[in-house]
Chain A
């Protein structure tokens, strides 16, 4: 692993190391993990949240076997932006119904990229609704699959009911510079965005 810029505790650079995060959302099979993989400096890793539900009133070790276990996984990668700043990219779980279980999943994120497969627009409706509900600023990235037919951006914006100020860009999730350009579009969008306080958790 490249540890450039990370310093030993006690040395000044360790005290200056900072992180930012961007969420990669979208329906199942829209290319979230592909995008994380193509743009990350490291091979993508997976982190998990284990959610347990106990039967009522059971809270001791004896009851452990009766608990049901659900695992929600996040694939993630990172980009070293400079010596002291690292961008973490998290692909959200494909099953959006689990998002609420991951406490504060979007809290503290700069924003999100919502991937859309133009052959299956509806698969990303839920992700877009969640971004709007949680007031996470986002850009729409149309992942161009080989057999996608050409869709004018405005037609898709209309079909997805995306407000005019939200950027809609086409890209190829398998391509590093194409994926990078989507992140650039998101950051430019954030810079132009009026000052709106994000909803506190």
Chain B
């Protein structure tokens, strides 16, 4: 009689379940992650580290957006957010959210808008 084995290459939702150890959403520091949040590594991959964690650290040696990371790794946003949350909690990455044009209660960030404008006008 054969013993059931865990599939070595889980597919689809099962793959995501394995990657995230069943967690469905990030908590703590990563709950505000945005598709335009920039991620940068603060550490190098360690031997024995989960493959996806190591891959994130390698790809984010230069700041990379969460959206680009998801596209390159073929992972949906919510799954990637769980993995990023692990790395954030361990202090292995730093995340920087996109800058809004308006801060709550304050006026427009005119210096930022001017910077965006002159960048666009140079295109």
Contact = CB atoms under 8 A, between A and B. Distances in A.
Contacts of A193: 108
Interface string A177-201: 1001001100110110101111010
Given A88-B67, A177-B123, A108 B98 contact: yes
Interface in A32-65: 39, 45-52, 61, 64
Contact of A19 (B16, B65, B114): B65
Q: Is the interface of A mostly helix, strand, loop or mixed?
A: mixed
A107 interface: yes
B70 interface: yes
A147 to B, nearest CB: 29
Contact of B34 (A3, A104, A177): A104
Q: Is the interface of B mostly helix, strand, loop or mixed?
A: mixed
Contact of B120 (A64, A81, A86): A81
A20 B98 contact: yes
Contacts of B37: 19
A6 B62 contact: yes
Interface string B88-123: 000000101111111111111010111111111101
A184 B117 CA distance: 6
A187 B65 contact: no
Interface in B1-20: 12-14, 16-17
B42 interface: yes
Contacts of A78: 65, 68
A82 B107 CA distance: 24
A17 B114 CA distance: 17
Contacts of A48: 70, 76-77
Interface of A: 3, 6-9, 14, 17-21, 39, 45-52, 61, 64, 67, 69, 71, 74, 76, 78-82, 85-88, 90, 104, 107-111, 137, 176-177, 180, 183-184, 187-188, 190-191, 193, 195-198, 200
Interface of B: 12-14, 16-17, 22, 24, 34-38, 40-42, 61-63, 65-68, 70-72, 76-79, 94, 96-108, 110, 112-121, 123
26 contacts: A7-B62, A9-B61, A17-B96, A19-B38, A20-B36, A20-B101, A21-B98, A46-B71, A47-B70, A47-B77, A49-B78, A50-B16, A50-B77, A52-B13, A69-B12, A74-B67, A78-B65, A79-B123, A82-B115, A108-B34, A109-B100, A110-B116, A184-B117, A187-B113, A190-B113, A193-B108
Given A45-B68, A47-B67, 4 more contacts: A79-B119, A88-B65, A108-B36, A177-B123
